[in-house]
Amino acid sequence: MKNKCDVWFLYSGYTYNKKMESGYIDSLRKKAEEYNISMDVKDTHKFTIVSGEKNELYYDGKKVENFPKFAIVRRYEIYLGRVLEMNGVKVFNNVQAMIDSRNKLKTHQMLSYAEVLSPKTVYIVPKKSLKNITYDEVCKRLESNTFILKWVYGSQGTHVHLVDNENTFDELVKKYDGKILCQEFIKSSFGMDIRAYVIGGKYIGAAIRKSNGSFKSNLAQGGEAVLFEEDDKIKDLAEKAAKAVNLDICGVDILKGENDKYYICEVNCVPGFKSISRTKKINEKDIFLTLIRDKMNNEE
């Protein structure tokens, strides 16, 4: 692999093939030319990582000799990302930030440390027996018998449940082997949240996501997106959340409480851009390439 380029875009095999068939990748290449950025697109499933005497990386059976300056990784790919970082590649998002943000509990700990408001969150360290995690204890800590229960590693609105009784709670604790967190239920934001996007530390816009009757507003769960009017409060909060978790590319999910109080619900390190594409007509290709162009300019 002799031709060194500015940036690699990394997708899973399924997504790579889908984007190739749709013409997205060809369109991305043309758009990159407009930015004067050289790029390549890779299928993550064609990589082989070798460790031992030294770390080596192979793509489609050939040893990688020349690495790009940057890589945009569009999936949770910790080991591949780490090999790239070891070879001097600036990875978006960086591996440690991806690890931190994938863990919902750690995210809330980091937000709290940075004094960024999020719903009150309870995590009880599980035993093998799980008997130390009780519904009554959670209700006591959250001062309510109704709350949100999440698997620590869930995404796209999956593994998120509204709990209001002991039987449901016990079933879910068993299902997730105790690796759950429980959160204050922000009733005023039922079925609605604000998805704000922060790229390279800068807020670029947001959309309101609404459900069709469910308490979940994720587009992946059937929600819809509508335009969110610009708001300095949301802008500042989203940027602070991204900084707290050290993410260059992120979607920040914000809940609106009572008395104009806003809470960071989640910070997603591999966000989809459907919400903002539909509402502000911002193209995700421009989002990625603008980030790379800005980083390249900062190096000069």
What are the structural domains of the chain? Answer: 7-92 (3.40.50.20), 120-185 (3.30.1490), 188-296 (3.30.470.20)
Give the count of beta carbons closer than 10 Å to the beta carbon of residue 290: 15
Q: What is the pairing mode between strands 180-184 and 121-122? A: antiparallel
How far CA 16 is from CA of 152, 192, 194, 295, 298, in Å, comes to 28, 31, 29, 25, 30
- Confidence label for 29 from pLDDT (cuts 50, 70 and 90): very high
Mean pLDDT of 18-24: 96
Report which of 120, 14, 121, 142 is spatially closest to residue 75, judged by C-alpha positions.
Answer: 14
CA distance 247 to 94: 7
Q: What is the rounded CA–CA span in Å between residue 114 and residue 231? A: 21
DSSP-derived letter for residue 125 is P
Q: Which of 34-43, 151-160, 278-287 has the least mean pLDDT?
A: 151-160
The size of the chain, in residues, is 300
Q: Write down the pTM of the prediction.
A: 0.86
CA distances from 56 to 69, 75, 80, 118 (A): 17, 21, 11, 41
Task: Say which range, 102-111, 128-137, 279-288, has the weakest mean pLDDT.
Answer: 128-137
Place 156 in a pLDDT band, splitting at 50, 70 and 90.
low
Report the pLDDT value the prediction gives residue 218, as an integer from 0 to 100: 52
Mean pLDDT computed over 178-197: 90
Pick from 8-22, 100-114, 208-222: least confident? 208-222
Beta-strand pair 202-210/7-11:
unpaired
Using DSSP, state whether 103 is helix, strand or coil: coil
Could you tell me which of 153, 155, 156, 161 has the C-alpha nearest to residue 182?
161
Identify the sign of the CA torsion 62, 65, 71, 76: positive
The residue-averaged pLDDT of 268-282 equals 89
| 220 has pLDDT over 60 | no
Calpha distance 159→146 (Å, rounded)? 17
Give the span between the Cα atoms of 178 and 250, in whole angstroms. Answer: 28
- For 242-266, what is each residue's pLDDT tens digit? 999 999 999 999 999 988 899 999 9
User: How much is the average pLDDT of 192-214?
Assistant: 88
pLDDT band per the 50, 70, 90 thresholds, residue 147 = very high
Contacts with 142 (C-beta within 8 Å, 6 or more apart), sequence order: 120, 122, 182, 183, 184
| Strand pairing class (7-11; 39-43) | parallel
Tokens of 123: 């995590």
- Amino acid symbol at 48: T
For the residues of 210-225, what is the DSSP string, one character each? E-SSSS---GGGT-EE
